Structure 1
Amino acid sequence: MSYITGFLTPVKTENKDRYIESARVAWPLFKGYGALAHVENWGTDVPDGKLTSFPMAVKLEDGEVVVFSWLVWPDKKTADDAWAKMEKDPAFADMDMPFDGKRMMWGGFETVFEER
């Protein structure tokens, strides 16, 4: 079973093309560190909630969209090793980040069921 790093990010609608380009630039770097897949999803049906919701989680502002993303790793060790190396990699430090990273959330998840 694989290991997933998931992300939830608010992105200004006007920055959609920049965001997609940043993902295109990041993928070869992630892949080089052992990622098996990189998926970015632009929110199109992300309703507000009463108690909790994706928009509430990222404190979505007018003119922004929720982006839901994940990286697939072969295992947690590969992901942990990759993140430690990426923190020191100048290629990541110099990347365009067209979103408010303070409102981004992420976490690591062990796959417990997968069917295709």
Structure 2
Amino acid sequence: MPYIDGFVIAVPTANKEEFLAHARQFDPMFLEFGATRVVEGWGDDVPHGKVTDFFRAVAAKDDETVVFSWVEWPDKATRDAGVKKMMEDPRMDPNATPMPFDGKRMIFGGFDLSLELTG
């Protein structure tokens, strides 16, 4: 059954091109290690809620944009093996290529695909 990793990140708006360059460098690794699709969504119509919202979830500042991303895998076993390989890969060294956002405020999780509708 397909498996999805989801991510929400607060990225300094001024760093959009740096973020995209970082994604172009690292996202292909997901595909290299078994993912079938990687999507990066730059916040465009993200409302502020009254109780909670994407901004609060990642403690986004006024000069940051919320990014919503996901990685699709054929199944959880492929995902687990792929993530393990990525974490062991020297290209992932944060000292060599630092993230253009505060990784401590990123939220992420893995999800079983329980319903999919296509048109």
What is the TM-score of this pair, normalised by structure 2?
0.92
Q: By how many angstroms is 1:96 displaced?
A: 3.9
Pair 1:95 & 2:97 matched:
yes
Q: Distance in 2 between matches of 1:12 and 1:27?
A: 19
DSSP 3-state at the match of 1:60: coil
Q: Distance in 2 between matches of 1:74 and 1:52?
A: 32
Residue number in structure 2 paired with 1:16? 16
DSSP 3-state at the match of 2:20: helix
1:12-91 matches, within 5 Å, as 12-91=12-91
Which consecutive residues of structure 1, in runs of 5 or more, have no partner in the other structure?
none
**CA offsets per residue over residues 16-75 of structure 1, 9 Å max, x none?**
001111111112211110010000000011111111100010011121000000000000
Q: Distance in 1 between matches of 2:35 and 2:111?
A: 14
Which consecutive residues of structure 2, in runs of 5 or more, have no partner in the other structure?
none
Q: Distance in 1 between matches of 2:21 and 2:98?
A: 9
After superposition, the CA RMSD in angstroms is 1.1
DSSP 3-state at the match of 2:59: coil
DSSP 3-state at the match of 1:84: helix
Q: Distance in 1 between matches of 2:40 and 2:56?
A: 20
Which AA in structure 2 matches 1:76? K
Q: By how many angstroms is 1:81 displaced?
A: 1.1
Q: By how many angstroms is 1:95 displaced?
A: 3.4
The share of aligned pairs that are identical, in percent, is 49
Q: Distance in 2 between matches of 1:30 and 1:111?
A: 18
Runs of 4+ in structure 1 over 2 Å off:
none
Q: Distance in 1 between matches of 2:113 and 2:97?
A: 29
After superposing the two structures, state which structure 1 stretch, 80-89 or 36-45, moved more: 80-89
Residue number in structure 2 paired with 1:106? 108
